[in-house]
Amino acid sequence: MTRISTLGYYSDERQNQIIYNGPTISTGISIEFTGSNNRLIVSDQARLGRFTVMFDCDNGILEIGPSRSVAPFTAFIRVGQDSEVKVGANVSTTATCVISAVEGTTVTIGNDVMIASENEIRADDAHPIFDVNTGKRVNLSRDIIIGNHVWLAKRAVVLGGSKIGSGSVIGFGAVLKGIVPNNCVAAGVPAKVVRRDIAWERPHLSRAKPFYKPDGDSVAKTPYWLPTVDEESIHE
C-alpha cells in the first residue's frame, strides 16, 4: 500500500496514476493505492478541502471537476474493484461527504450539486448479506446517478440504485434507494417525493441579501426552473 499526502502528478510501477497539473496541495490530502491500474484525475481548477481517497483494489477511476466558484469539496472516497466515481463541476460540501463505489459500480454526481453535512453516497453496503436458503447475495452493489443542481440536505443518504433528476432536493435525514424525478423534494425513510415542480437556489437565507426571500424575484435564477416530468431520462 502506498500513501500520498501531497496532490500533484504521480505514477508508479503498478500503473497507478494521479493526473493533476494545478498548484501543489499538501494540506488535508491522503491518497492510498493498494492495488494497481488506478487513476485519480483532478481538474487543475478544483477547490479541495480535506480530501481522503482509498483505492482498495484494481482498475478504479476517480474524477474531480473544477469548483472555483463554490465552497471546497471535502470528501472521504472509497473506490473498489473496476469501479468509478465521477464528480462534476462546482460540487460543494459543508463537511466531509462519504462516497463509496465497489464491485464494478459507478457513482456519478452532476454539476452544481450542493452537499450539506453528514451525507453519504454509497453504491454498496460495505459487507455482503446472503439468503440462508439459497446462498444468493441479497444486497448487490448498484450504480448511482445524481443529476445537475441537486441539493442533498443534512444527513441525507443516497444508496445504490438511486437516480436523482436535475433540480431536486433530498430532505434532512432522508434515506433514498430509488428514483426521484427532476425538480422534486423527496423526504423521509425511505425517501419519497413530497413536492413537485420546485426550484431551489444557493443564496443562504441569512448570509446573502436580501434577508427576506419571499419569491423567485428575490434571487438570481439558474436555468433549472422547470416543471417535473416523470418520464425524464436521468442522464449521467
At residue 231 the predicted structure's pLDDT band, cuts being 50, 70 and 90, is low
Domain range holding 19? 2-218
What is the C-alpha end-to-end distance of the chain, expressed in Å?
32
Whether residue 118 lies inside any domain: the answer is yes
Whether residue 67 lies inside any domain: the answer is yes
Answer whether residue 126 shows pLDDT above 60. Answer: yes
pLDDT at 233: 53
Whether residue 12 lies inside any domain: the answer is yes
Whether residue 15 lies inside any domain: the answer is yes
DSSP string covering 103-135: TT-EEEE-SS-EE-SS-EEESS-SS--B-TTT-
Rg (CA), the chain: 18
Burial of 44 (C-beta count, 10 Å sphere; 0-12/13-18/19+) = exposed
pLDDT at 236: 44
Taking residues 164-179, report their average pLDDT: 98
In 3D space, the residue among 179, 38, 28 whose CA is nearest the CA of residue 101 turns out to be: 38
Whether residue 235 lies inside any domain: the answer is no
Mean pLDDT (the chain, rounded): 95
Per-residue pLDDT of 129-143, as tens digits, reads: 999 999 999 999 999
Q: Give the distance from CA 57 to its chain's centroid.
A: 20
Taking residues 156-172, report their average pLDDT: 98
At residue 70 the predicted structure's pLDDT band, cuts being 50, 70 and 90, is confident
Whether residue 74 lies inside any domain: the answer is yes
Residues 6 or more apart whose CB falls under 8 angstroms from that of 217 comprise none
Taking residues 31-54, report their average pLDDT: 97
pLDDT at 69: 75
Whether residue 134 lies inside any domain: the answer is yes
CATH number (domain holding residue 160): 2.160.10.10
Answer whether residue 235 shows pLDDT above 90. Answer: no
Whether residue 172 lies inside any domain: the answer is yes
At residue 157 the predicted structure's pLDDT band, cuts being 50, 70 and 90, is very high
- What percent of the chain stands above pLDDT 90? 94
Give how many domains the chain has, as a whole number: 1
